[in-house]
A and B are shown apart, each in its own frame.
Chain A
């Protein structure tokens, strides 16, 4: 995954302690272009670890990390290291960005950079307010996804759902006359060869089912 951006016009280049400053400035200026974040660590150790965030009318669209080759929210996670950062901000024509912006795997929800990089919920809200409606819907999906991730991480809850489903499957199998086709049906299996499942199901001597 590579991202090729035209260089554009350099608006500012400075070292900031908080990447939120750059995000906030981009929003207030309605920046269309991109910002390159280079953590001070990378400056010191000459490591290849720059993050690129593109903007449309001040609202973040894509995130990409050159060191890890990650995109989207994962790129933000890679970039979220203690500052200070060197930040270069470039302005571009929207037309120059449209091709790059058609890269779903790199997209971020509008408020996410403010939340993840700056830890600034107020800035995230302000960014969402400025974002087009369809982009905010994507942000909501991200919030949903956090809830979904938490749900899946709760192993005991998931196991309870599965256990209940197993019991229900068994009860219903009895009710529908499918009990003999359950995988652990106690009926003898004629020939436990490669086609074991078929053999289990092919027991023609079953009593009539109800």
Chain B
């Protein structure tokens, strides 16, 4: 069984990548987890996962004519399978976003949980595809009006494509009581539970600087505990792997003439 989650926010700087890897690690205690940096235009997962020096990345799977295999771009790190994306702009421009479907289909065959670290803004096809492909969206939110406003937009995009909501993760929180006051409304608008309230933390920056996921770098930090709580709240409702893989691959657009 596999369930694909897009980790999305609508706004940059909310801590999506940190959240993706932290959730991934927390879920990996119970599930086979594959994490994909689907933010192909602004990739940064490689910095968080100590994969800066790898040769093959998602870009090599998305560029027409490149013959890398999915396995070549998949790295076993921190108990997860991690597919980083490169940061070369020319590679991004050469990439065919539609090929993400095949990649996701292949990865779905061997995973219980697929986490797609998704682009912040929804301004392009490559940015919206992770949300189209996912079963459900985990919305990472800073409790500010601009962040909520953009996340509401992501929520509507997801709903438009029949992608469900897995809930809301409040991140970089400095006043937990304040979040408590808006949680009910937010749960209603986002049609899902509050997965956790993650406190603002220096440990997150330190982990990024060390090139390690938060749960590996500072497992005892309150932020790490909050992510474990989020993972525990998230009930994985995977469908049959073969059926899911078929869903992704059979939706592949015919080759362009």
What residue in chain B is nearest A200 (Cβ atoms)? Answer: B162
Residues of B near A141 (CB, < 8 A) are 174-175, 178
Contact among B145, B182, B239 for A198, CB-based, below 8 A:
B239
CA distance A172 to B132 in the complex (A): 12
Indicate if the CB atoms of B250 and A204 lie closer than 8 Å.
Answer: yes
Cα separation A200 to B160 with both chains bound (whole Å): 13
Contact code string A138-165 (vs B, CB < 8 Å = 1, else 0): 1001101111110111000010011011
Contact A73 B177 (CB under 8 A): yes
Number of interface residues of A (CB under 8 A): 48
Residues of B within 8 A of A165 (CB): 152-153, 155-157
Given contacts A108-B177, A152-B189, contact A169 B157 (CB under 8 A): yes
Which stretch of A15-23, A80-88, A176-184 is in the interface?
Answer: A176-184
In the bound complex, CA of A176 to CA of B253 (Å): 12
Docked CA distance A25–B224 (Å)? 39
One digit per residue, 1 when the CB lies within 8 angstroms of any chain B CB and 0 when it does not, for chain A 77-114 equals 00000000000000000000000000011011100000
Q: State the Cβ distance, A40 to closest chain B Cβ, in Å.
A: 26
Known: A138-B175, A149-B181, A209-B253. A161 touches B247 (CB 8 A): no
Partner of A208, one of B132, B174, B253: B253
Among candidates A137, A149, A151, A209, residue contacting B174 with C-beta atoms closer than 8 Å: A137
Residues of B within 8 A of A (CB): 122, 124-125, 128, 132, 135, 143-145, 148-149, 152-153, 155-157, 159-162, 174-182, 185-186, 189, 199, 222, 239, 243-244, 246-247, 250-251, 253-254
Binding site for B on A (CB under 8 A): 71-74, 104-105, 107-109, 137-138, 141-142, 144-149, 151-153, 158, 161-162, 164-166, 168-170, 172-173, 176-178, 181-183, 195, 197-198, 200-202, 204, 208-209
Q: Nearest 5 CB-CB pairs, A to B?
A: A145-B178, A183-B162, A165-B156, A72-B177, A198-B247
